Amino acid sequence: MLETAPQPGFTDPAIQSQAAFRAVMDAMARPGRIYKAPELITAPAPMNPVAAMIALTLVDFDTPVWLDHGLAQSEDLNRFLAFHTGAPVTSDKTEAAFAFFANPQKLGDIANFALGTDTYPDRSTTLILQVEALTNASGETLKGPGIETERRLGVAPLQPDFWQMAAANAALYPRGIDIIFCTATELACLPRSTRIKQGS
Amino acid sequence: MSLDTLSSEPPAYNFAYLDEQTKRMIRRAILKGIAIPGYQVPFASREMPMPYGWGTGGMQVTAAVIGPEDTLKVIDQGSDDTTNAVAIRRFFDRTAGVAMTTHTAEATVIQTRHRIPEEKLTDNQVLVFQVPIPEPLRFLEPRETETRKMHALSEYGLMHVKLYEDIARHGHIATSYAYPVMVEGRYVMDPSPTPKFDNPKMHKMAALQLFGAGREKRIYALPPHTEVVSLDFEDHPFSVQDWPDTACAMCGAEQVYFDEVILDDKGGRMFVCSDSDYCEARQAEGHFGAAHAHHQEAAE
């Protein structure tokens, strides 16, 4: 029996999930541009409000979810996700449709997630990374679809070799994973189609 | 409450008709489509309360994208007031209750059947295309297993053979609509049966372009500023339709896409803008074409 009821999700799911999706869609279509999250969902720690918004918007019984150590440890969070999304939690990275990281400094090798196949590149994992800060003032230079000329994106904190892994991921195009960064209030995306020019 | 009042109440649909699980599934497909521009993402297309072929793919995409803050415009062959546009606008009026407009600049979501508005689209707009046959290679190779492999290998020689055969037979590339494009140098994509006149507008467009094929169960996308190149040959470069010395009979516009209107059975005809909003806006600004002058003379 539940000792405490899970925390509430959307109060008006059709309307709020639409606003949330629209922010994610706009962000995915304009890689690196930082969007304010329209809805903030209070989820059990260590999941942040924007990651929770994304989970409740995109995840359901059709999408196996992988959780990093910190998230997987939280029984409350597991209950929260089970109650609101019904998504199966998997420990098999290649099976995950979405993978959530509370600690972006411990990603391991992101190429261990599902990368899609040449015939079905869409059968890949989308990573949701909780970070502290996003900025367009400094960081890596991004180019590609959705970016008129170039756009800079700084993300902190990250595993030190993250941008090398991201560049290797982009080189797999059209295979590869897509990444959504979220702070406690904002989000930005890095789809596989984005080319990364490393620099100061 | 009597049975009469109950049955006369409008049916209580979820916002924008589709249930939330269906929207999540479509939304996930849209995100994949955006991440892989030009690649056709399979999705579990639903039955809609109108037959396949009437824009059910575009409607499902619109239903998954649209919110109460949006203003919707629907066009059918450039026009806001033809059957398909009116029916789809009414559908979203009933099921989503969003604001509607015919003015291109006021719309945040534009669902279209086979035209791109003449007015330049902006960064805060989404253009949703209704697509009958999403697979550009389908009439060259009927097997899905094979076309999928051809896309995987970026093997598009067959498409160039088709365009070459056009030249061999007609002296020029005779494909005038659904003219194949190359997206970011990777995927050959069907721009839906828009006239090739509109192909250049797709290239690096500021608005997000989404494509939905309901019967064929595919969604694909072009993020803003995506490179979209119409296939051609060095010695037979791509060109768009051109009406030399022709201006719109209503608003006098040149260099737009025209509809030919037959006026009588003696060969009388006129050309008018296919984009009805563009034409009306020009007339409101005081631009008039030959037919309008003719009307005025008749009135005098």
B73-96: average pLDDT? 95
Give the three-class secondary structure for B102: coil
Extract the residue ranges of chain A whose pLDDT is less than 50.
Answer: 200
Residue A7 counted as domain residue? no
- From residue B245, alpha-carbon distances to A177, B254, B258 in Å are 52, 8, 12
Average pLDDT over residues B12-41: 96
Q: Which domain holds residue A42?
A: 13-197
CA B149, CA B97: separation in Å to the nearest integer?
A: 43
> Which CATH number do you get for residue A43?
3.40.50.11310
Interface contact flag, A191 B152, Cβ < 8 Å: no
Domain ranges of chain B: 4-139+163-229, 258-299
| pTM > 0.90: yes or no | yes
Q: Indicate the pLDDT class of residue B257, thresholds 50, 70 and 90.
A: very high
Give per-residue burial for B167-195: e unless 16+ CB within 10 Å, then b: eeeeeebeeeebbbbbbbebbbbbbbbbb
> Would you call A147 and B225 a contact, using CB atoms and an 8 Å cutoff?
yes
**According to the model, what pLDDT value does residue B296 have?**
65
Residues from chain B contacting residue A174 (CB–CB below 8 Å): 36, 39, 186-187
The answer to whether residue B251 is catalytic is yes
Residue in B16, B39, B69 closest to A122 by CB: B39
Confidence of residue B152 (pLDDT cuts 50, 70, 90): very high
Please say whether the dihedral angle defined by the alpha carbons of residues B195, B196, B201 and B202, taken in this order, is positive or negative. positive
Find the catalytic residue in B38, B55, B214, B289: B38
User: Cβ contacts of residue B85 below 8 Å, gap of 6+?
Assistant: B74, B75, B76, B79, B113
Active site residue B279: yes
Given B57, B78, B273, B289, the catalytic residue? B273
Is A8 domain-assigned? Answer: no
**A190 in a domain, yes or no?**
yes
In chain A, residues with a C-beta closer than 8 Å to the C-beta of B208 are 25-26, 29
ipTM for the assembly: 0.97
CB contact under 8 A, B32 and A122: yes
Of the candidates A15, A19, A121, which has its C-beta nearest B36's C-beta? A121
Query: Is A47 a member of any domain?
Result: yes
Interface touch A173/B186, C-beta < 8 Å: yes
Q: Are residues B16 and A14, on separate chains, in Cβ contact within 8 Å?
A: yes
- Rounded to the nearest angstrom, the minimum Cα separation between A3 and chain B is 29
pLDDT over 80 at B293, yes or no: no
pLDDT band (50, 70, 90) for residue B92? very high
Give me the residues paired with residue B129 across strands: B112, B211
The closest CB to that of A14, out of B15, B37, B149, belongs to B15
Between chain A and chain B, the number of residue pairs with CB atoms below 8 A apart is: 114
pLDDT at B6 over 70: no
Q: What is the pLDDT of residue A28?
A: 98
Residues of B in contact with A25 (CB under 8 A): 27, 30-31, 34, 65, 208
- Asked about B55 being catalytic, the answer comes back as no
Average pLDDT over chain B reads 94
Contact A17 B24 (CB under 8 A): yes
Number of domains present in the structure of chain A? 1
pLDDT at A110: 97
Determine, for residues B152 and A118 on separate chains, whether the beta-carbon distance falls below 8 Å.
Answer: yes
pLDDT of residue B12: 76
Cα separation, B240 vs B262, whole angstroms: 23
pLDDT greater at residue B13 or residue A13: A13
Domain assignment of residue A112, yes or no: yes
Secondary structure (DSSP) of A127-162: EEEE-SEEEEEEEEEEESTT-SS-EEEEEES--TTH
Q: B258, B272 in Cβ contact below 8 A?
A: yes
The single residue of B55, B248, B252, B289 carrying the catalytic annotation is: B248
In which residue are the tokens 């995100």 written? B31
Q: Is the pLDDT at B80 greater than 60, yes or no? A: yes
Name the CATH superfamily for B4-139+163-229: Bacterial phosphonate metabolism protein PhnH (3.40.50.11310)
**Nearest Cβ partner for A28 among B14, B31, B67:** B31
**pLDDT confidence bin for B13, thresholds 50/70/90:** confident
Residue A67 lies in a domain: yes
CA distance B143 to B126: 32
Set of chain B residues whose Cβ sits within 8 Å of the Cβ of A178:
31-32, 35
Question: Which residue of the set B57, B251, B252, B289 is catalytic?
Answer: B251
Q: Is residue A168 part of a domain?
A: yes
- The distance from CA A98 to its chain's CA centroid, rounded to whole angstroms, is 7
Q: CB–CB of B152 and A119 under 8 A?
A: yes
What is the per-residue pLDDT across B163-190, written as a single tens digit (0 to 9) for each?
999 999 999 999 999 999 999 999 999 9
Q: Is residue A3 part of a domain?
A: no
Residues of A in contact with B15 (CB under 8 A): 14-15, 18
What is the mean predicted confidence (pLDDT) over B11-27? 93
H or E element: which one contains B220?
strand B218-222
pLDDT at B106 over 90: yes
